[in-house]
Amino acid sequence: MLTIAFASLSGGQGKTTAALFLGRRLAALGYSTLMIDADPQHNLTTYLGLELQPNQPTLLECLKKSVAVEDGIYPIEGNDNLFLIPADDQLDTVQDYLSNSGVGATLLLRRLEQIASAFKICVIDSPPQRSQICLTVIGAADALVIPAEASVKGYGSLVRTLDLLQTLQEVKATNAQVLGVLPFRDRWIGNTQTNESRLAVEGMREEVGKELVLPSIRESERYKQAINKRSTLQQMGYADLEYPFEVLLDKIKQLLK
C-alpha cells in the first residue's frame, strides 16, 4: 500500500480539498483507496458524507487499539473503491496518548500494517498544526504532498512543513519524501496572475525546485460546488480544473511502478 499524506502547517492551505479530489480520482480509476481523516476538525469525513453514530469507532479508537483497524473502516456510498477511517471532535484527545506511547511518530504506520494488503493507496488528511497527530501522519507516509496557498502565508506554511519533515527524517521517524508542492487558491484576474500569487509560487519553486511544484489550483468556486454536490469536476463539466491532480496522478503511477 502506497501511503500519501497531505500536510501543511497552517489552516486554509487546501489540504482537505486536495486530498478529497485526489482520493475520488484514484477510486474512479479503479484503485482501492483508503482515506484517513486525521484532522480533529473532521472536514474530510463531512465532505465524504459519512454520518457517524455515537458508538461507531473512528481513527481515535484505531490509534488507541480499542478496536481492530478494519473495524474503523467504512465504505463510501456510491463508490466501490473508496473507503474511510473517519474522525470526530474527540480525535484531539489522542495527543497525550501519542506523546506518552514512546513510538508516537510511528504508531499510525504500525496500525496500518494490519490492513496494508487490502488497499492499493492510502490518502491521509493531516491537521494544520505541528501536533502529535501530524507527526504520526508524516511518520506513516511514503510520500508527502504539501498544499500551500499562493500567498505569503502559504509560503511560510511550506517552509515550516519542510522543516518538520527534515527534522523527522534526521531522527529516522519517517521515510517520506516530498512528492509535490501544490499551490492553492492561485489568484488570477482574467489572464493575469496577481503579483502576490506570482511571487509566492516563484518562492515555492526556489525552495524545493521547479520540478516539485505542481500546477496550481486556481481560485474558483467550482471546487466548492463539486464538494457540496459530492461530485467530480469532470462530471460537472470542468475537467480542465482537474489538471493539477492529473499531474499528481502521473507521479503516483511512477511510484506504484
In a domain, 202, yes or no: yes
115-157 tens-digit pLDDT? 999 999 999 999 998 999 999 999 999 999 999 999 999 999 9
Q: What is the pLDDT of residue 228?
A: 82
Distance CA 53, CA 112 (A): 23
Distance CA 36, CA 58 (A): 10
193-212 tens-digit pLDDT? 999 999 999 999 999 999 99
pLDDT band at 242 (very low <50, low <70, confident <90, very high): confident
Could you list the residue range(s) of the whole structural domain that residue 135 is in?
2-245
Distance CA 112, CA 116 (A): 6
In a domain, 255, yes or no: no
List helix spans (H) across the chain: 15-28, 43-47, 59-63, 95-101, 104-112, 132-140, 152-170, 195-208, 221-229, 243-256
Total-model pTM: 0.94
Number of domains in the chain: 1
pLDDT at 176 over 80: yes
In a domain, 257, yes or no: no
Taking 3-state DSSP, the helix, strand and coil percentages for the chain, each rounded to the nearest 5, stand at: 50, 20, 35
- CATH number, residue 173: 3.40.50.300
19, amino acid identity: A
